Chain A
Amino acid sequence: MIKQSALTPDTAAFREIVPAGEYFLKVVKAGETVRILDLEGNQAADTLFYNAHNPIERYSAVDTIREQGNVYLTAGSKLMSSENNVLLEITADTCGRHDTLGGACAAESNTTRYALEKKCMHSCRDSWLVAVTEHEELGMSKRDLTHNINFFMNVPVTADGGLTFEDGISDAGKYVELQAAMDVLMMISNCPQLNNPCNGWNPTPIEVLVWS
């Protein structure tokens, strides 16, 4: 569902551009709104959320889609935690549909999906592994890298049980906005994948904006 935001970038309390292949970590406080902006179009933002005070409670893709009764995320979707609490709600969305079944790319999944010799290409799960090891204060590890949201990614599921990665439906300037229902830690990998259309074959920067 397309829903515009009333917020304007000039009133944002925080703005940062995240290049493709980088990770981004930030706590978003309860009540704050965070926007992820697709600057150049067709860019997958692989995103995980945690309860900022207890990261054992984390985003749960399966609980989120089951509780809303739909596999796609858009405006109105409540992102559920592994403890059945609402982490955030999508309050605006100019893309219309986001994926949470496709997971994140990894060195190992690159070997099976594309070719065994692609294992050393950069991947989202590698970005997250670096994020948790560079931030030991978070007390997180590979065990915390669970099934994520792929903002701006188009993974249609068909009535006969098919699932494919299609060309993105996002474009330059499209965004998704979420309001935090509790203090959440947001961990993004701006996807470096070069082997499928999720980034339009050309990974590009995103911008993260936060309004207090």
Chain B
Amino acid sequence: MLQSSAPLYDDLIPRGSHWSFIMRRGHVLRLIDETGNANVGMLMYNPENPLERYNMPDTLKNQHTFKLTSGHVLLSDMGRVFASVIRDDMGWHDTVSGTCNADMVAQRWGRKTYQQAHNHYHRNGFTSFLNELAKYGLGKKDLTANLNWFSKVTTDDDGKLSLVSGASHAGAIVDLRFEMDTIVVLHTCPHPMNTATDYPGHPVRYQFFRAAPVTDADPCRLSSPEATRAFANTALYHLFQ
């Protein structure tokens, strides 16, 4: 479902860092777990009206799922599809655990300042998101439940949450095909349930591709009646373009 196998752009986000960009509709963002055990925090907003943002509950309840994998769509709070998960090498990604904050990182892995460690200082997901959001005039009120790519969080019958260690592997790929123009905010800070002894630092490679046209038989569009209706809402949004 890529138009060509050569990426339009290829880049690496180092460990414990943050970055953001605008994806245009009809393009694929590929995330690659470079070393294994990565975590990529992600938020999404509509650049035309950032009040439209990724909505975790709408994404989960529309698709009757707790996990995210290929075939799923990532919904905005306005009933539209920001992106379709068109490839997933891992099978289960988390969107219910939130992100790590400064206190959590300091308690678990010690405080490491820029003065001490330069660009290997211990960043946290909360501040990283705010750092990137501020570039678009957004802030704390715009923080919502985020995605944690490459992190698998399960429950048992009583609802107890567990982070499954080692669920991802070096080279694992997630392909997100954007169905709308989208502000994508990313960080590579540790998953908030990671209890590793040392600050977990894993870089993530990301690439941009042109997407093949979305057909009527597209597996994400047809994955559920709810997804089909969300695609219809998205088509209506683009009616005048």
Interface residues of chain A, those whose CB is within 8 Å of chain B, are 56, 60-63, 65-66, 69-72, 82, 84, 101-104, 106, 108-109, 111-113, 115-116, 125, 142-144, 146-147, 155, 157-159, 161-165
Residues of chain A lying within 8 A (CB to CB) of residue B156:
159
Judged by a CB distance under 8 angstroms, whether B140 is at the interface is yes
Cβ contact of B57, chosen from A63, A103, A108, A111, cutoff 8 A:
A103
A112-B233 contact given A66-B161, A70-B161, A162-B66, CB 8 Å threshold:
yes
Q: How many of chain B's residues touch chain A, expressed as a range? A: 35 or more
Nearest-Cβ distance from residue A61 to partner chain B, whole angstroms:
7
What's the least CB distance linking A54 to chain B, in Å?
Answer: 10
Which of B141, B157, B161, B229 sits near A111, CB closer than 8 Å? Answer: B229
Q: Tell whether, in the assembled complex, residue B96 and residue A65 are in contact, meaning their CB atoms are under 8 Å apart.
A: yes
Residues B157 and A159 in contact, CB atoms below 8 Å apart = yes
Contact with A along B125-157 (1 / 0, CB 8 A): 000000000000000111111100000001111
Contact, CB under 8 Å: A159 / B75: no
Question: Which residues of A sit under 8 angstroms from B232, Cβ to Cβ?
Answer: 116
> How far, in whole Å, are A108 and B232 apart by their CA atoms in the complex?
12
Can you give 5 A-B contacts (C-beta < 8 A)?
A69-B161, A72-B158, A103-B56, A109-B58, A161-B66
Say whether A116 contacts B57, CB under 8 Å.
no
| Partner-binding segment picked from B10-18, B97-105, B179-187 | B97-105
Residues of B within 8 A of A65 (CB): 96-97, 161
> Smallest Cβ distance from A168 to chain B, in angstroms?
15
A109 and B79: CB pair below 8 A?
Answer: yes
List residues of chain A with CB within 8 A of the CB of B146.
62
Q: Could you tell me the distance between the alpha carbons of A70 and B67 in the complex, rounded to whole angstroms? A: 15
Among A65, A66, A70: residue with most chain B CB under 10 A? A66
Q: Which residue of A lies closest to B68 (CB)?
A: A161
Chain B residues with Cβ under 8 A from A70's Cβ? 155, 158-161
With A101-B96, A116-B229 in contact, do A159 and B154 touch (Cβ < 8 Å)? yes
Q: Is the CB of A157 within 8 A of B66?
A: yes
Give Cα A104 to B144, complex, Å. Answer: 14
Kindly list 12 other residue pairs between chains A and B, CB separation below 8 angstroms, not including A72-B159, A112-B62.
Answer: A62-B146, A66-B192, A101-B66, A102-B60, A103-B58, A108-B77, A108-B233, A109-B77, A112-B233, A144-B141, A147-B144, A165-B61
Give 8 nearest A-B pairs by CB, closest first.
Answer: A103-B57, A62-B98, A108-B79, A161-B67, A143-B141, A72-B159, A71-B159, A163-B66
